[in-house]
Structure 1
């Protein structure tokens, strides 16, 4: 009944919402594609499933480690959300990137019979009853990794028996923290390993291998730089006056989350005539003569995780919007982090870095300038915050290797007669 209501709701939503329309149309277009790809195939397939782009970033270190360790296997990557699929449909580390069809007994049986996966890995939050049940029936091992559990979830409610049943379908559940393990053990789910957050391995890898961004390096040369990453207008409304206050003491590298001409112009107004320059313009003219320029506006995508290395301090956006963006990226470079105080509590790393002194929140105008000024005036306090961030990433790395050990055990077992 729930699935029927869900399908009807999606069709109604698709009349008014582009994302819902993409959700249905994308699956419709791929209905026959599954048959074309997998009918009578003889590949050894390992199947990774992610809800959306955020879960993909959790899963990416494991996918890439798997590809390196098992080059003769094929990788199937599926997404539930159009946002994840559209951005990563050409991901080179997967042999096929497809939408996951809606969960039902018939679809689950059809897909499992078609793909015949040797192993399936779900990332973080995905729980699809019929897929899990069918994989269990066919004795296909399923791992869940990078998972976080909270007391508010249905698994832990007196009426949550149906949801608890799904947890038994997993061969092993890799969780990010001790709290998640303890919650699962409280409902007698004991096939649990505390592995940590695979995203930390990803940001550590990026920090170790980050290629220089020559324009940013030239701009930042011997200056105190605040990198403002994933900036939303909601963040800018709060911090723009603080930025104006700090202009004489710092330079700014600013990367909006969504690049629009109107937003770029709003940012430029704070710096006045000639005070800000766009990255795309410097690609054309070169990066000479920037010593009087106070802001470098990043008006393209894909650079941000390499720009934090040039920062003294980072402000990461989303805390005043729908949810904090990735603060692990600056932390990996030992860059202390500031963010808005409204939408961050669901992120483990934010809570832990706040508690340890590597990060700070702000509630309103004036606070960002105060925090940065303190760090600029107190070298010891700044070094302590910086060391805290760098140590946090190093201490919590290694989740990918733990998940890979489970993958190896499952694949070795599947080869036994």
Structure 2
């Protein structure tokens, strides 16, 4: 019975194994296609390229055969597009699920250091040491371990040199001891070579930076001395200009006072004459009113009386009154004419005085503005003197650029994106 059923069972098992192999092959091919699509279509810089890579990664997430390679590829694309926080989260997840993924560890540690988190980077190094074999191997995995050794040599040199002030030396020493125990054979040589290269480069850049700063200090000191002399000369000129301006201001005010006094002196007799004429005019007009009243009264008496002698006397009185009234009217016209003439002279004099006053006040205003400008310039000069009195620092743009370069991680080690991309694209070929 068993023999009768053994052939169909063998056939069924063979078919099952074949289907499993085909399924695995299909999954591997899908994952490989996903890695290729992510790395090729997402490598160009730009939002469209990144969006395409993101879609490709999401589309192949279900391919379990090469999920680590797919995630690593997408992480490289994120670094390429400077999406450091997202890349950090992705490689953090990768190192948790695949502790043996040395590329993910190196990328994660590099990202932490790049983002100014050296303490966190040391913690990642400490965790990574658990995935490094204590002894050298004879297979391809050892080459990846040596790549990690070279990487760690540069990272520790960076933390010992450019980033020394940002790292707890106690933590660094503890982690370094764990790493040193794993650096055996060729690993130790790779670690030391890269460590020494970074420190030599840092020392060279530091020396250049110090030389540039010293030269900048010397140049700034010389420039300060020249500027100090220029400011001293300027201050002397300002003092002279201030004195001359004050003299000019005092002279203008004095001349204005003299001119006003002269105009007042010239106007005084006119005012007196006009005042006298006004008194005379008042008297004449009062007499005119009185004579007019007398004439009206005489005319009324004349109209009422019938006595010839009385009427004759009234006519004579009216004639005398009219004669006096005419004289006073002529006097009134003479006084008015003289008053108008004197008033016109006084008005002309006052107009001249107003024009003279306006001219002097304009010159005084200009001189005051000039004096105010000189005062402001003196204050700026005082500030400049205080500024150049401070010691030269040599903090020039060139020195700042050199300092930034000397402390930048990318100066000593930029993550080898192209190499890791090439390794993923050619894996299994």
TM range (shorter): under 0.3
Larger radius of gyration: 2
Structure number with the bigger relative contact order (C-alpha 8 A, sep ≥ 6) is 2
Q: What TM-score does the superposition give when structure 1 sets the normalisation length? A: 0.24
1 or 2, which has the higher helix percentage? 2
Which is strand-richer, 1 or 2?
1
TM score, norm. by length of structure 2: 0.24
